[in-house]
Structures are given as structure tokens and as C-alpha cells.
Chain A
């Protein structure tokens, strides 16, 4: 088992940071009948899921952690069937309705209708909980439908919504939920957790390495823990991770860094063709286009003069929007790369005449 899973806290008390949130969740869990719908949001790797699962444990007792993994098929009115993976316990059910693509609306309505009409196995008075992950991936229609559905079944079931970026949720939904913001842990908190895990695994972790890992992780605890484990594998042996340990990095990030260097070095249609190959490679490896663009922009900004940064970021946000709007990601990625090269070339020309 990966350390990320092995050392995941399972109850509210053992959560490592954000004590105020834990306290609040505990208060809410005491009075399930008056529980409002909840909306967990915060960046990836901040611990939203961990908190949700700990909260469910507090709400329903340990049997909420007895999870079953199952698949369910839904048939849309148009006759299409979609398969959705779900995780459920006796008290709750978890799914990512965004997996259903354009049929997300029906999946939500079906699941809620089902769970609201079926009696709870253990007790008939208690409420049931539906956890919807990645609600930011839901279409606007599905969100609007959700708004009605959650009112309709409010008596018997509560929703817990969860996503990375709250702005992608429509305002009426947000205002119907009690918002719980899970901020990413700060670097010190991450470093502390890394040290704890290291001591539980019984190997030495120098402070400097812990801090370096925390910084490299972009305040993402999951990433930090995985990096720690990867570093340990690299270091080999049972001993401590040496101070000068080379820190593992994500291959695709290295790749993007290289791409950024390429297009800052030379600006020509040929460079674009070469860049295109790199973009293809990233896309085939399932790196989302918008992540590519964001990460590339980050790398580019590192090497730029302040005077051109604004223009680059403006175009980045322009093309990222295009990517978010529809299909043909590669068009917008290449357009951005070309645009950057044009901007940079002009900057160089102005600089050196």
C-alpha cells in the first residue's frame, strides 16, 4: 500500500491540520437531522476527501468506512448506457457524476431518486448522504438540475459536494450549501507530516530534505508524500535519506520545462513543429491540455523579463479559456506556443534593434 493511503487519517481527531474545520465538522456530525448540504472545496491534495471520509465516520460510526466498490449502469432517455463507478457504504454513496459526460444530469437524478426512496438499512430515521466528487466537471444543465433535486430530496438525504475550484459551481448551488474551504497545508505543516511518516516507517529524514520536498510539492500533500516515497525508493537501503538526495520530479513537468527552453531559444515555424511533437507526447500521456498550458506558462514566466510577462499571461488565459470551451485542444495549445514565440521575438528585436 502506498504511504499516501497507509497514513491517511480516518477520524476527525487524528487529522493533522485545520483544527477549526475538524471542530466544525464534529459539531455538525452531532446533529445529523439538522445537517445542511456541505460543499468542500480547495486545491488538489489539500485533504478534502480525507476530511469527508473522516466526517462520515463521525456521522455514522466506523461502519461508514466499510466500503464497497461497485459499478452501475444508467440508461439515458435517449437509450445510451453509461457506466459509473461508485463507492458505497450502508449509509452513503460516493460517485463522480462528471464521468458520465453529457449524461451527467440523468445520473444525478437517478442516483438521488434511488437513494432517497430506498430505506436506510440500519435505521429508518437517519439521513443518507450522497457524496458527489468533482462537481466542477458537471455541465451547467446538470448543476441546474442538481439544484432542484437537492431541494426535492432534502428531507431524507444530504449532499456533500466536492471540487477543486468553487467558481465552477453555479452560485445557486453554492448558496444552498455550507461551504467548507480546505486550504492546502502550508509548507511547515507538510514538512511536519513528512517527518512523522518517516519516523513511522523508521528511516531518517533530514530537516532540509523535508523542507525541500514540501516546497517542491506546491503545497500538495499527496504529491509530497508520493515524492517522499519515491525518494526513499531511489535512496534505497534501509537507512536515512541522505541530505543531498536527488529529489524525484514528475517526468511530464521536466518535459514541459524542456519545451519552454526550446521555444525561448529559437522562434521559427520549425521550432513550432518540434514543439508540436512535444505537445502530442504530453497529450498522449493523458496530461490535460489545460494543465499543459498552465504549467508551460509557469515555466515561461520564470525566464522572462517583467515587461513581457503580462502579455504572455494574458494570452495564456485567453487560450486556456478556449481549451475549456470546447474541443480541439491542440489548436489552442499550438496557437499559444506560436503567440509566445511571436511576442518573445518582438521583445528580442526591440531589445537588440
Chain B
């Protein structure tokens, strides 16, 4: 079995050089310039998940040094791994003191005279630790460059952010993703004897929402399923779009439609039993709410005020669920309000 080494595809198909990186042309251009001149500021890479931040950081390092140098030159830290700032400080100190040594093959690489510390998930670091980090950066800035990677730039304290060159990553557009995902699908499909149809790849892309990691992970799952079936020789290929949605945890459209219908009924009990049903069916309320919001925004059944009210309530519900609140009650609250807003709007329209 060729795929027997369990490396997740996400790791296997990471871009190896900056040139390989999809889409983020602006960032890549600037960084390539930095590579050529060997002058690198501290970096702050931010953007939605799966847009290639960590990949860019790693690719950058691969472009800068010969592989034999990486161990001494690059330190990858995960904020969620080692949260204690004292641990981080100790690690950085140790790493900074490592001697650089001479490179075997300096010709092909810029080989700049500094080291790089990549701090992933920097936004999960507490404010206090960030303040401490700022001093650490200053203390070591002569020989080290920091690359902070995070999803939300607003969670990085200003003094820290201002020391870095900020790069914003965009969610990948479907076209770019498709090219890449198709390539991976073909490469892996050849090994596993699986042929994926274009519609399946499209479905995978649709559920990924511009998140490359998610797309590749879903792809891997789908192929694992397909591989199991092809050995069966039974030709009941049931991995259609609906199934892929299901695997990604997205509720099918008819579920949303049924729920929405119940909201138009202006009957609390109808709404309540519809909500009870989707909960018993185990759909993730978070995704349900997102889908509902999509509907509320475009529908003509609502007036602007109702739209606004519902958007606020949905945001609130999501926040509460983040804190661990009960899904059923939150969904009921949103739907209860929707029931009322839809009724008010329909009465107004009749007048």
C-alpha cells in the first residue's frame, strides 16, 4: 500500500519553496525580495485558517538556507504547545546561543547571518506573555528574526505588532484551490487506484470555504472512503456532493429549508418541534446558524430591522456556544426571534 506512511497529505503537499505557494502573490513577491537581499524584518503573518501562512513561513526558511542548516537556523514554536512564557524564553535563549556553523553549500542559498523563530498560533498567547515576548524579541533581535503567525491580528497587542512587517493573507479563491487540489487528487489517486470525478472535487472545494488545509483533509477522507469501496468491487459509488457535505459536517439544504419553513409559520410550537428535530439529527448548530444567516440576509421576507436584529442575535448565540452554552437553547432563541421578525415583516408588507 503506497500511502502507508501516515503523513497527513496536508504535510506532504506543503509548498517547498516560495514559488510553489498558491495565490498570495503580493506577500510572496515581497518576501522573495527579502530573500535575495538577505534582509528580513520581523514578520507578522495573519489571515484565515488554511490560507498558507505557516507554509509561507516554512517555505521562506527553505529558500534561505540549505537543509543541513535548518536545525540550527529555524525554530518552530507552537504557542499552544508551550504556553508558559518562561518555557518559551528558555527555548529561545538556548536556540539563539546555538552556534551557526558553516554551511556546506553556501553558493545556492542566500545564507543570511541570522536565525528565524516561527511562533505559530501567536494569538493564543496571553496578553501578559505577549508583553514579555516583546522584550524577548528586543533582546535577541541582533541575531534572530521572529515570524509570528496568527488568525486574528487584533489579538496581538499593538507594541508587538508594530515591531513586525504585517502581511495579510486572503482566503484562497476556488480557481487557485481547484488547480492545486486536482493535482493532489491525481497524484494520490494514482497511488491508491482511485479516480475522482470533477464534481467530487468541486464539492470538496465548496465545503472548504477557501481553507486549503480543510480542502486537502476532506480530499484525503473522501479518497480513503473511495479506496475502501473500490476494493469492494461494488459499483455503488455513494460519495456524491451530499455525502461530501455530510463528511464536512455541513447540513444539507433541505434541512435548512424545512427549518426556515417552520419559521414562516408564526406558530411557536411548529418552530419548536422543527428545532428539536434538527438537534436530534445531530447537526452542528454553529453551521446551521451560519446557513440561516445566509438566508436571512438575502430573503425578502424580512425587513432591514429584522435582518439586523437577527444578525446580532446569531452573533451572540455563536459567542455563547463558544463559551460552552447549550446548542438547543441558543438555536431556540434565534429561531424564536426569527419567528417574530418574519411575522412583523409579513404584516407590514400586507398593509
A–B contact via C-beta, under 8 angstroms:
yes
**Which 7 pairs between the two chains have the least Cβ-Cβ distance?**
A27-B228, A42-B282, A144-B80, A166-B284, A178-B221, A321-B325, A317-B329
B40 nearest CB across to chain A (Å): 26
Judged by a CB distance under 8 angstroms, whether B304 is at the interface is no
A293 nearest CB across to chain B (Å): 8
Residues of chain B contacted by A34 (CB below 8 angstroms)? 1, 3-4, 192, 220, 223-224, 227
Complex contact A184–B282 (CB within 8 A): yes
Q: A34-B224, A144-B121, A154-B11 are in contact. List 19 more A-B contacts (CB 8 A).
A: A27-B228, A31-B1, A36-B224, A125-B4, A145-B81, A154-B6, A154-B7, A155-B6, A165-B326, A177-B217, A218-B280, A301-B268, A306-B267, A309-B336, A310-B268, A314-B337, A320-B326, A320-B329, A321-B325
Q: Known contacts being A24-B225, A184-B280, A310-B340, is A33 close to B6, with CB within 8 Å? A: yes
Residues of chain A contacted by B285 (CB below 8 angstroms)? 165, 167
Q: Name 10 A/B residue pairs within 8 A (Cβ), A-sorted.
A: A27-B232, A36-B217, A46-B282, A148-B78, A171-B49, A179-B246, A183-B281, A301-B272, A306-B268, A310-B268
Complex contact A145–B80 (CB within 8 A): yes
Complex contact B4–A144 (CB within 8 A): no
Complex contact A155–B336 (CB within 8 A): no
Judged by a CB distance under 8 angstroms, whether B113 is at the interface is no
Judged by a CB distance under 8 angstroms, whether A9 is at the interface is no
Contact residues, A139-172 vs B (CB, 8 A): 141, 144-145, 147-148, 151, 154-156, 165-168, 171-172
Residues of chain A contacted by B243 (CB below 8 angstroms)? 20, 24
B4 nearest CB across to chain A (Å): 4
Instruction: Point out residues on B near A: beta carbons under 8 Å.
Output: 1, 3-8, 11, 49-50, 78, 80-81, 83, 121, 124, 192, 211, 213-214, 217, 220-221, 223-229, 231-232, 238, 243, 246-249, 267-268, 272, 279-286, 317, 320-321, 323-330, 332-333, 336-337, 339-340
Judged by a CB distance under 8 angstroms, whether A30 is at the interface is yes
Among the interface residues B3, B6, B213, B232, which one has the most CB atoms of the partner chain A within 10 A? B6
Provide the bound-state CA to CA distance between A105 and B307, in Å: 41
Complex contact B326–A290 (CB within 8 A): yes
Instruction: Point out residues on A near B: beta carbons under 8 Å.
Output: 20, 23-24, 26-31, 33-36, 41-43, 46, 125, 127, 136, 141, 144-145, 147-148, 151, 154-156, 165-168, 171-172, 174-184, 218-219, 290, 293-294, 297, 301, 306, 309-310, 313-314, 316-317, 320-321, 324-325
Residues of chain B contacted by A171 (CB below 8 angstroms)? 49
SS of A interface (majority): helix
Complex contact B213–A175 (CB within 8 A): yes
Q: Known contacts being A33-B1, A145-B81, is A26 close to B228, with CB within 8 Å? A: yes
Among the interface residues B248, B329, B336, which one has the most CB atoms of the partner chain A within 10 A? B329
Closest to A24 in B: B225
Residues of chain B contacted by A156 (CB below 8 angstroms)? 6
